Amino acid sequence: MIKQCDNVIVQSVSRFLTPFILLFALYVIAHGHYSPGGGFQGGCILGASFILSMIAYDIAEVKRRMTEKMNTVLTGVGVLIYAGIGFICLLLGANYLDYGVLAEILPVGTAKARALGTFGIEIGVGITVMAVMVSIFLNLASGGEHEEGSVE
C-alpha cells in the first residue's frame, strides 16, 4: 500500500535525520527518571525513526535491516527484561519488583540499586514499544499481507 517516495529531498533529509532521532530516543529513555521522558516515550521515538525510513524509502529496504523475525523477538525480549528484573528480585528473597535487593548482586548502595532497577525496566519498555510500533506500521501499511506465511 505504500509506494516508495521518489523525492530526493525527502530521502536525503530522512537519511540524515535518522541517527539523530535514534540518539534522541536513547537520550529520552535514559533521562526518564529525572526529567520528562521514560520508556514509552523513548520507545515511540525509536519506532518513529524506523517508520520515517519506511515512508521515505521502500519497506523492503528497511525490512532487510530489521527483519520481521527480529521484530517479533524484540517484542518479547523487552517485556522479558522487565519481568525478568522483577523475577530476579523475587529469587533474591524480596517482593516482586523490589529493586532494593539488587544491591546484593550489584556493587552499589540500596538507593542507587533502586535507580538502576528502574532504568533497567525502562530499557525493556523502550525495546518492546519500538518493536510494537514498527510491527503495527508494517501490518497496517502492507494491508495485512506481510505476515501471512512469512513468520513460520
State the nearest-atom distance from the C-beta of 101 to other proteins, in Å.
8
The region of 3-11, 19-27, 33-41, 56-64 touching other proteins under the rule CB under 8 A is 33-41
Closer of 17 and 90 to other proteins (Cβ): 90
**What letter does residue 37 receive in the DSSP assignment?**
-
CA 29 vs CA 11, 38, 67, 108, 130: distances in Å = 27, 5, 23, 22, 12
**Of 3-11, 12-20, 50-58, 136-144: span binding other proteins (CB under 8 A):** 136-144
Binding other proteins (rule: CB under 8 A), the pick from 2, 67, 87, 109 is 87
The answer to whether 21 contacts other proteins (rule: CB under 8 A) is no
Residues near 149 by beta carbon (within 8 Å), at least 6 away in sequence: none
* List of residues 6+ apart from 20 with CB closer than 8 A: none
Nearer to other proteins, 17 or 92 (CB): 92
Nearest-angstrom CA–CA distance, 152 and 138? 17
Q: Hey, is 43 helix, strand or coil?
A: helix
For residue 95, state whether it binds other proteins (rule: CB under 8 A).
yes
Report which of 57, 24, 58, 61 is spatially closest to residue 43, judged by C-alpha positions: 24
Can you tell me which of 22, 83, 92, 115 binds other proteins, judged by CB under 8 A? 83
The reply on whether position 143 binds other proteins by CB under 8 A is yes
Distances in whole angstroms, Cα of residue 50 to Cα of each of 57, 118, 144:
10, 26, 18
Q: Tell me which residues in 38-77 interact with other proteins (CB under 8 A).
A: 38, 40, 69, 72-73, 75-77
Binding site for other proteins (CB under 8 A): 34-36, 38, 40, 69, 72-73, 75-77, 79-80, 83-84, 86-87, 90, 94-100, 129, 132, 136, 139-140, 143-144, 149, 151-152
